[in-house]
Chains A and B, each alone.
Chain A
Amino acid sequence: MQIEAREYEYANDYKVLIESYSGKPEHLLAIMQDVQKHYNYLPRLAISMISQHVGIPVSRVYAMASFYKAFSLVPKGKFIFRVCDGTACHIKNSATLLDQLQEHLGIEVDETTADGLFSIETVNCLGACALAPVMVVNGKVYGKVSPGDVERIINEYGGQSYASQHKC
Protein backbone atom coordinates (compact mmCIF):
# COMPACT_ATOMS: atom_id res chain seq x y z
CA MET A 1 0.00 0.00 0.00
CA GLN A 2 1.23 3.45 -0.85
CA ILE A 3 1.83 5.83 1.98
CA GLU A 4 2.24 9.48 1.17
CA ALA A 5 5.40 11.14 2.42
CA ARG A 6 3.56 13.81 4.39
CA GLU A 7 1.90 11.13 6.51
CA TYR A 8 5.27 10.37 8.07
CA GLU A 9 5.17 13.75 9.79
CA TYR A 10 2.65 12.20 12.12
CA ALA A 11 4.48 8.91 12.56
CA ASN A 12 5.56 9.79 16.06
CA ASP A 13 2.10 10.84 17.18
CA TYR A 14 0.65 7.62 15.85
CA LYS A 15 3.38 5.67 17.56
CA VAL A 16 2.71 7.17 20.96
CA LEU A 17 -0.98 6.55 20.62
CA ILE A 18 -0.62 2.98 19.35
CA GLU A 19 2.05 1.99 21.82
CA SER A 20 -0.03 3.13 24.74
CA TYR A 21 -1.68 -0.26 24.22
CA SER A 22 0.06 -3.58 24.63
CA GLY A 23 0.62 -5.48 21.42
CA LYS A 24 -2.00 -8.12 22.17
CA PRO A 25 -4.19 -8.91 19.17
CA GLU A 26 -7.35 -8.38 21.21
CA HIS A 27 -6.47 -4.70 21.50
CA LEU A 28 -6.77 -4.21 17.78
CA LEU A 29 -10.26 -2.74 17.84
CA ALA A 30 -9.55 -0.47 20.80
CA ILE A 31 -6.44 0.95 19.13
CA MET A 32 -8.32 1.53 15.90
CA GLN A 33 -11.10 3.32 17.78
CA ASP A 34 -8.59 5.52 19.55
CA VAL A 35 -6.86 6.50 16.32
CA GLN A 36 -10.21 7.13 14.68
CA LYS A 37 -11.20 9.35 17.59
CA HIS A 38 -8.02 11.41 17.39
CA TYR A 39 -7.83 11.86 13.66
CA ASN A 40 -11.43 11.32 12.57
CA TYR A 41 -10.18 8.62 10.21
CA LEU A 42 -7.63 5.83 9.98
CA PRO A 43 -4.60 7.08 8.09
CA ARG A 44 -2.76 4.55 5.95
CA LEU A 45 0.43 4.83 7.92
CA ALA A 46 -1.47 4.27 11.15
CA ILE A 47 -3.11 1.15 9.71
CA SER A 48 0.24 -0.29 8.81
CA MET A 49 1.72 0.61 12.21
CA ILE A 50 -1.23 -0.92 14.03
CA SER A 51 -0.85 -4.09 12.01
CA GLN A 52 2.77 -4.36 13.06
CA HIS A 53 2.08 -3.55 16.67
CA VAL A 54 -0.51 -6.27 17.18
CA GLY A 55 0.98 -8.73 14.69
CA ILE A 56 -2.12 -8.94 12.50
CA PRO A 57 -1.71 -8.70 8.72
CA VAL A 58 -2.52 -5.34 7.12
CA SER A 59 -5.21 -6.96 5.00
CA ARG A 60 -7.12 -7.97 8.10
CA VAL A 61 -6.77 -4.61 9.81
CA TYR A 62 -7.99 -2.92 6.65
CA ALA A 63 -10.82 -5.42 6.37
CA MET A 64 -11.91 -4.58 9.89
CA ALA A 65 -11.68 -0.85 9.18
CA SER A 66 -13.82 -1.27 6.09
CA PHE A 67 -16.36 -3.44 7.90
CA TYR A 68 -17.40 -1.10 10.70
CA LYS A 69 -19.20 2.12 9.93
CA ALA A 70 -17.50 3.73 12.90
CA PHE A 71 -14.23 3.80 10.99
CA SER A 72 -13.37 5.97 8.07
CA LEU A 73 -10.67 5.21 5.54
CA VAL A 74 -10.62 8.72 4.17
CA PRO A 75 -10.04 11.96 6.10
CA LYS A 76 -13.18 13.38 7.67
CA GLY A 77 -14.00 16.94 8.53
CA LYS A 78 -13.39 18.42 11.96
CA PHE A 79 -17.16 18.70 12.32
CA ILE A 80 -19.30 15.84 11.12
CA PHE A 81 -22.95 16.57 10.42
CA ARG A 82 -24.83 13.33 10.84
CA VAL A 83 -28.32 13.59 9.51
CA CYS A 84 -30.71 10.87 10.53
CA ASP A 85 -32.56 9.33 7.64
CA GLY A 86 -34.31 6.61 9.61
CA THR A 87 -38.00 5.99 9.06
CA ALA A 88 -39.29 8.60 11.50
CA CYS A 89 -36.86 11.29 10.41
CA HIS A 90 -37.42 10.46 6.79
CA ILE A 91 -41.13 11.06 7.18
CA LYS A 92 -40.37 14.33 8.97
CA ASN A 93 -38.50 15.41 5.88
CA SER A 94 -34.88 14.76 6.70
CA ALA A 95 -34.24 14.94 2.97
CA THR A 96 -34.78 18.70 3.05
CA LEU A 97 -32.22 19.10 5.83
CA LEU A 98 -29.77 17.11 3.80
CA ASP A 99 -30.41 19.20 0.72
CA GLN A 100 -29.86 22.36 2.71
CA LEU A 101 -26.63 21.12 4.20
CA GLN A 102 -25.32 19.95 0.89
CA GLU A 103 -26.20 23.23 -0.73
CA HIS A 104 -24.68 25.37 2.00
CA LEU A 105 -21.48 23.40 2.31
CA GLY A 106 -21.15 22.61 -1.36
CA ILE A 107 -20.48 18.90 -0.76
CA GLU A 108 -22.45 15.67 -1.07
CA VAL A 109 -23.13 13.03 1.56
CA ASP A 110 -19.92 11.26 2.63
CA GLU A 111 -17.79 14.09 1.34
CA THR A 112 -15.60 16.58 3.18
CA THR A 113 -15.08 20.27 2.47
CA ALA A 114 -11.72 21.19 0.94
CA ASP A 115 -10.60 22.99 4.12
CA GLY A 116 -11.19 19.80 6.10
CA LEU A 117 -13.78 21.49 8.33
CA PHE A 118 -17.08 19.79 7.51
CA SER A 119 -18.37 16.37 6.48
CA ILE A 120 -21.91 15.19 5.90
CA GLU A 121 -23.09 11.70 6.73
CA THR A 122 -26.41 9.97 7.06
CA VAL A 123 -27.42 7.39 9.66
CA ASN A 124 -30.35 5.04 9.88
CA CYS A 125 -32.14 6.01 13.08
CA LEU A 126 -30.35 7.53 16.04
CA GLY A 127 -32.92 6.10 18.42
CA ALA A 128 -34.37 9.53 19.13
CA CYS A 129 -37.38 9.33 16.85
CA ALA A 130 -39.49 11.53 19.12
CA LEU A 131 -37.18 14.39 18.21
CA ALA A 132 -37.40 13.76 14.47
CA PRO A 133 -35.89 15.05 12.33
CA VAL A 134 -32.64 14.66 14.17
CA MET A 135 -29.15 15.79 13.37
CA VAL A 136 -25.97 15.24 15.36
CA VAL A 137 -22.84 17.34 15.10
CA ASN A 138 -19.82 15.82 16.83
CA GLY A 139 -21.98 14.30 19.52
CA LYS A 140 -24.28 17.31 20.03
CA VAL A 141 -27.88 16.45 19.24
CA TYR A 142 -30.23 18.81 17.43
CA GLY A 143 -33.86 17.71 17.52
CA LYS A 144 -36.90 18.87 15.57
CA VAL A 145 -34.63 20.69 13.19
CA SER A 146 -36.47 22.89 10.75
CA PRO A 147 -34.95 23.85 7.41
CA GLY A 148 -34.52 27.38 8.73
CA ASP A 149 -32.22 26.12 11.52
CA VAL A 150 -29.62 24.63 9.26
CA GLU A 151 -27.76 27.82 8.48
CA ARG A 152 -27.67 28.80 12.15
CA ILE A 153 -26.27 25.42 13.10
CA ILE A 154 -23.59 25.63 10.44
CA ASN A 155 -22.64 29.06 11.75
CA GLU A 156 -22.28 27.65 15.26
CA TYR A 157 -19.31 25.72 13.92
CA GLY A 158 -17.73 28.62 12.15
CA GLY A 159 -19.27 27.98 8.78
CA GLN A 160 -20.36 31.59 8.15
CA SER A 161 -18.33 31.94 4.99
CA TYR A 162 -19.92 28.80 3.61
CA ALA A 163 -23.43 29.87 4.40
CA SER A 164 -23.14 33.30 2.79
CA GLN A 165 -21.20 31.96 -0.17
CA HIS A 166 -23.95 29.61 -1.18
CA LYS A 167 -26.94 31.71 -0.33
CA CYS A 168 -29.03 32.81 -3.23
Chain B
Amino acid sequence: MKIMLNGQEREAREGETILEMCRREGIPIPTFCYYQAFGGQGACRMCMVELREEGQEQTRLVAACTYPIKSSVEIITESERIQRLRRTIVMLLARRAPDNPLMEALARTYSSPRLTAIEVEPPNCILCGLCIHACEEMGRTAIWSMFRGIDKRIGTPYDEASEDCIGCAACARICPTQAINLEEEGSTRRIWNKTFELVACQRCGKNYTTREELEYLWERTEYGKEKLCESCRKKTLAINMKSFQQ
Protein backbone atom coordinates (compact mmCIF):
# COMPACT_ATOMS: atom_id res chain seq x y z
CA MET B 1 0.00 0.00 0.00
CA LYS B 2 1.32 3.41 -0.95
CA ILE B 3 1.43 6.07 1.73
CA MET B 4 3.11 9.42 2.10
CA LEU B 5 5.76 9.53 4.77
CA ASN B 6 7.30 12.91 5.46
CA GLY B 7 6.49 14.02 1.93
CA GLN B 8 7.83 10.94 0.21
CA GLU B 9 5.95 8.04 -1.25
CA ARG B 10 6.62 4.81 0.61
CA GLU B 11 5.31 1.27 0.67
CA ALA B 12 3.51 0.21 3.84
CA ARG B 13 2.36 -3.28 4.80
CA GLU B 14 -1.31 -3.32 5.54
CA GLY B 15 -2.02 -3.42 9.26
CA GLU B 16 1.49 -2.66 10.47
CA THR B 17 1.77 0.20 12.90
CA ILE B 18 3.19 3.55 11.90
CA LEU B 19 6.05 2.92 14.29
CA GLU B 20 6.91 -0.44 12.77
CA MET B 21 6.94 1.09 9.34
CA CYS B 22 9.09 4.04 10.41
CA ARG B 23 11.58 1.75 12.14
CA ARG B 24 11.82 -0.25 8.94
CA GLU B 25 12.37 2.92 6.95
CA GLY B 26 14.98 4.11 9.41
CA ILE B 27 12.96 7.09 10.60
CA PRO B 28 13.52 7.70 14.29
CA ILE B 29 10.51 8.14 16.57
CA PRO B 30 11.12 8.45 20.30
CA THR B 31 9.26 6.02 22.56
CA PHE B 32 9.04 5.20 26.25
CA CYS B 33 6.39 2.55 26.61
CA TYR B 34 7.02 0.64 23.40
CA TYR B 35 9.06 -2.54 23.28
CA GLN B 36 9.28 -4.58 20.14
CA ALA B 37 8.42 -7.90 21.73
CA PHE B 38 5.33 -6.52 23.51
CA GLY B 39 4.05 -4.12 20.88
CA GLY B 40 2.73 -0.65 21.64
CA GLN B 41 0.85 0.34 24.78
CA GLY B 42 -0.18 3.82 23.72
CA ALA B 43 0.52 4.99 27.24
CA CYS B 44 3.33 7.53 27.15
CA ARG B 45 2.31 9.46 23.99
CA MET B 46 5.95 10.17 23.18
CA CYS B 47 5.58 8.54 19.76
CA MET B 48 2.82 10.85 18.52
CA VAL B 49 2.93 11.74 14.84
CA GLU B 50 0.69 13.77 12.58
CA LEU B 51 -1.68 11.85 10.37
CA ARG B 52 -3.76 13.07 7.45
CA GLU B 53 -6.44 10.80 6.16
CA GLU B 54 -7.47 10.80 2.53
CA GLY B 55 -9.64 13.73 1.59
CA GLN B 56 -8.94 15.52 4.86
CA GLU B 57 -7.52 19.00 5.19
CA GLN B 58 -6.35 18.80 8.77
CA THR B 59 -3.93 16.44 10.32
CA ARG B 60 -4.54 14.83 13.66
CA LEU B 61 -2.17 13.41 16.23
CA VAL B 62 -2.00 9.65 16.70
CA ALA B 63 0.25 7.33 18.69
CA ALA B 64 2.56 5.73 16.13
CA CYS B 65 3.07 2.63 18.28
CA THR B 66 -0.59 1.61 18.23
CA TYR B 67 -1.96 3.09 15.01
CA PRO B 68 -2.29 0.43 12.29
CA ILE B 69 -1.93 1.63 8.70
CA LYS B 70 -5.04 0.53 6.86
CA SER B 71 -5.43 3.09 4.07
CA SER B 72 -3.23 5.42 2.08
CA VAL B 73 -2.67 8.04 4.71
CA GLU B 74 -0.10 10.76 4.97
CA ILE B 75 2.23 10.72 7.95
CA ILE B 76 4.43 13.49 9.28
CA THR B 77 6.90 12.51 11.96
CA GLU B 78 8.60 15.86 12.54
CA SER B 79 6.87 19.21 12.90
CA GLU B 80 6.64 22.15 15.23
CA ARG B 81 3.50 20.68 16.73
CA ILE B 82 5.12 17.31 17.42
CA GLN B 83 8.24 18.96 18.81
CA ARG B 84 6.08 20.93 21.25
CA LEU B 85 4.26 17.83 22.33
CA ARG B 86 7.45 15.89 22.99
CA ARG B 87 8.93 18.83 24.82
CA THR B 88 5.95 18.87 27.17
CA ILE B 89 5.98 15.12 27.76
CA VAL B 90 9.69 15.17 28.56
CA MET B 91 9.24 18.23 30.76
CA LEU B 92 6.56 16.49 32.82
CA LEU B 93 8.20 13.08 33.03
CA ALA B 94 11.58 14.57 33.89
CA ARG B 95 10.05 15.84 37.12
CA ARG B 96 9.80 12.22 38.21
CA ALA B 97 13.36 11.37 37.18
CA PRO B 98 15.30 14.63 37.42
CA ASP B 99 18.82 13.22 37.54
CA ASN B 100 18.33 10.35 35.20
CA PRO B 101 20.77 10.44 32.24
CA LEU B 102 18.11 9.46 29.72
CA MET B 103 15.71 12.16 30.83
CA GLU B 104 18.49 14.71 30.97
CA ALA B 105 19.53 13.88 27.43
CA LEU B 106 15.94 14.10 26.21
CA ALA B 107 15.39 17.38 28.01
CA ARG B 108 18.37 18.74 26.10
CA THR B 109 17.18 17.35 22.77
CA TYR B 110 13.73 18.89 23.11
CA SER B 111 14.84 21.96 25.08
CA SER B 112 12.34 21.09 27.78
CA PRO B 113 12.26 23.54 30.64
CA ARG B 114 13.30 22.03 33.95
CA LEU B 115 10.55 21.93 36.54
CA THR B 116 10.96 21.22 40.22
CA ALA B 117 11.33 17.53 40.91
CA ILE B 118 8.56 15.55 42.54
CA GLU B 119 9.13 12.58 44.78
CA VAL B 120 7.91 9.34 43.34
CA GLU B 121 8.12 5.71 44.37
CA PRO B 122 10.27 4.02 43.17
CA PRO B 123 12.43 7.10 42.48
CA ASN B 124 12.92 7.80 38.76
CA CYS B 125 9.90 5.78 37.66
CA ILE B 126 8.20 7.40 34.67
CA LEU B 127 5.35 4.87 34.66
CA CYS B 128 6.03 3.52 31.17
CA GLY B 129 4.75 0.11 32.29
CA LEU B 130 7.44 -1.93 30.55
CA CYS B 131 8.34 -3.72 33.80
CA ILE B 132 4.76 -4.89 34.21
CA HIS B 133 4.83 -6.34 30.72
CA ALA B 134 8.19 -8.01 31.26
CA CYS B 135 6.93 -9.62 34.45
CA GLU B 136 3.71 -10.72 32.77
CA GLU B 137 5.70 -12.11 29.87
CA MET B 138 7.73 -14.16 32.34
CA GLY B 139 4.40 -15.59 33.44
CA ARG B 140 4.62 -14.14 36.95
CA THR B 141 2.67 -10.86 37.08
CA ALA B 142 4.13 -10.09 40.48
CA ILE B 143 3.94 -6.33 39.91
CA TRP B 144 1.19 -4.12 38.57
CA SER B 145 0.27 -0.47 38.62
CA MET B 146 -1.37 0.39 41.91
CA PHE B 147 -3.55 3.30 43.05
CA ARG B 148 -4.33 6.09 40.63
CA GLY B 149 -3.90 9.68 39.63
CA ILE B 150 -0.94 11.32 41.28
CA ASP B 151 -0.59 8.32 43.59
CA LYS B 152 -0.25 5.82 40.78
CA ARG B 153 2.84 3.68 41.06
CA ILE B 154 4.22 0.28 40.20
CA GLY B 155 4.57 -2.21 42.99
CA THR B 156 3.76 -5.52 44.61
CA PRO B 157 0.61 -5.97 46.71
CA TYR B 158 0.99 -4.17 50.06
CA ASP B 159 4.57 -3.34 49.02
CA GLU B 160 5.60 -6.67 50.47
CA ALA B 161 7.59 -9.61 49.16
CA SER B 162 5.35 -11.28 46.61
CA GLU B 163 4.99 -15.04 46.31
CA ASP B 164 4.84 -14.60 42.56
CA CYS B 165 8.20 -12.84 42.31
CA ILE B 166 11.05 -15.17 41.36
CA GLY B 167 13.69 -12.45 41.41
CA CYS B 168 14.44 -12.78 37.70
CA ALA B 169 14.97 -9.00 37.43
CA ALA B 170 13.44 -8.88 33.95
CA CYS B 171 11.66 -5.74 35.18
CA ALA B 172 14.88 -4.04 36.25
CA ARG B 173 16.60 -4.91 32.99
CA ILE B 174 13.90 -3.42 30.80
CA CYS B 175 13.43 -0.22 32.82
CA PRO B 176 14.52 2.76 30.71
CA THR B 177 15.35 4.88 33.77
CA GLN B 178 16.88 2.18 36.01
CA ALA B 179 14.23 2.92 38.58
CA ILE B 180 13.85 -0.58 39.96
CA ASN B 181 16.06 -1.18 42.91
CA LEU B 182 18.14 -4.29 42.38
CA GLU B 183 20.73 -4.96 45.03
CA GLU B 184 23.24 -7.74 44.74
CA GLU B 185 25.64 -8.61 47.48
CA GLY B 186 27.72 -11.77 47.52
CA SER B 187 25.31 -14.52 46.73
CA THR B 188 22.06 -12.70 47.47
CA ARG B 189 19.84 -10.48 45.37
CA ARG B 190 17.23 -8.10 46.70
CA ILE B 191 14.41 -6.82 44.58
CA TRP B 192 10.82 -5.74 45.29
CA ASN B 193 11.31 -6.22 49.04
CA LYS B 194 12.31 -9.84 48.66
CA THR B 195 15.68 -11.49 49.12
CA PHE B 196 16.85 -14.29 46.87
CA GLU B 197 19.73 -16.67 46.91
CA LEU B 198 21.83 -16.50 43.75
CA VAL B 199 22.96 -19.55 41.83
CA ALA B 200 26.37 -19.79 40.16
CA CYS B 201 27.01 -20.94 36.61
CA GLN B 202 28.50 -24.41 36.68
CA ARG B 203 30.95 -23.53 33.93
CA CYS B 204 32.27 -20.05 34.70
CA GLY B 205 31.23 -19.73 38.33
CA LYS B 206 29.48 -16.40 37.90
CA ASN B 207 26.33 -15.80 39.98
CA TYR B 208 23.74 -15.46 37.28
CA THR B 209 20.25 -16.21 38.50
CA THR B 210 18.10 -16.92 41.54
CA ARG B 211 17.19 -20.38 42.76
CA GLU B 212 13.52 -19.53 42.27
CA GLU B 213 13.98 -18.50 38.66
CA LEU B 214 16.07 -21.56 37.88
CA GLU B 215 13.49 -23.93 39.35
CA TYR B 216 10.75 -22.09 37.53
CA LEU B 217 12.57 -22.47 34.21
CA TRP B 218 13.40 -26.12 34.86
CA GLU B 219 9.73 -26.72 35.46
CA ARG B 220 8.61 -25.22 32.20
CA THR B 221 11.31 -25.85 29.65
CA GLU B 222 12.90 -28.75 27.96
CA TYR B 223 16.32 -27.70 29.15
CA GLY B 224 18.23 -30.26 31.12
CA LYS B 225 18.86 -29.45 34.73
CA GLU B 226 22.01 -27.51 34.13
CA LYS B 227 23.11 -24.26 35.65
CA LEU B 228 24.53 -22.26 32.80
CA CYS B 229 24.70 -18.53 32.42
CA GLU B 230 23.69 -17.16 29.06
CA SER B 231 27.13 -16.86 27.53
CA CYS B 232 28.16 -20.33 28.74
CA ARG B 233 24.91 -21.77 27.41
CA LYS B 234 25.74 -20.36 23.99
CA LYS B 235 29.27 -21.71 24.14
CA THR B 236 28.15 -25.21 25.11
CA LEU B 237 25.53 -25.07 22.40
CA ALA B 238 28.19 -24.18 19.84
CA ILE B 239 30.45 -27.00 21.03
CA ASN B 240 27.59 -29.47 20.84
CA MET B 241 26.75 -28.30 17.33
CA LYS B 242 30.30 -28.84 16.21
CA SER B 243 30.51 -32.35 17.57
CA PHE B 244 27.15 -33.03 15.99
CA GLN B 245 28.38 -31.88 12.59
CA GLN B 246 31.51 -33.97 12.74
Contact = CB atoms under 8 A, between A and B. Distances in A.
B54 interface: no
Interface of chain B, main secondary structure: loop
Nearest to B152: A67
Contact of A1 (B143, B145, B163): B163
B14 interface: no
Contacts of A58: 157, 162-164
A66 B160 CA distance: 15
Contacts of A47: 157
B189 to A, nearest CB: 20
B4 to A, nearest CB: 41
A80 B138 CA distance: 42
Interface string A2-45: 10000000000000000000000000000000000000000010
A164 interface: no
Interface in A22-81: 44, 47, 57-60, 62-63, 66-67, 73
B160 A59 contact: no
Interface string B153-167: 000111010111000
Interface in B145-198: 145-148, 156-158, 160, 162-164
A39 to B, nearest CB: 17
Contact of A60 (B141, B158, B160): B141
A58 B164 CA distance: 9
A47 B163 CA distance: 14
Most buried by A among B141, B148, B157, B162: B157
Contacts of B157: 1, 47, 58-59, 62
B150 to A, nearest CB: 13
A1 B165 CA distance: 11
A124 to B, nearest CB: 12
B164 A63 contact: no
Interface string A138-149: 000000000000
A66 B147 CA distance: 5
Contacts of A63: 144-146
B166 to A, nearest CB: 13
B171 to A, nearest CB: 12
Contacts of B160: 1-2
Contacts of A62: 144, 146, 157-158
B5 interface: no
Interface in B111-166: 140-148, 156-158, 160, 162-164
Contacts of B162: 1, 58-59
B141 A59 contact: yes
Contacts of B144: 57, 59-60, 62-63
In order of increasing CB-CB distance, the 7 nearest A-B pairs are: A62-B157, A57-B141, A59-B144, A63-B144, A66-B146, A66-B147, A67-B148
Given A57-B142, A63-B144, 5 more contacts: A1-B158, A1-B162, A58-B157, A59-B142, A67-B147
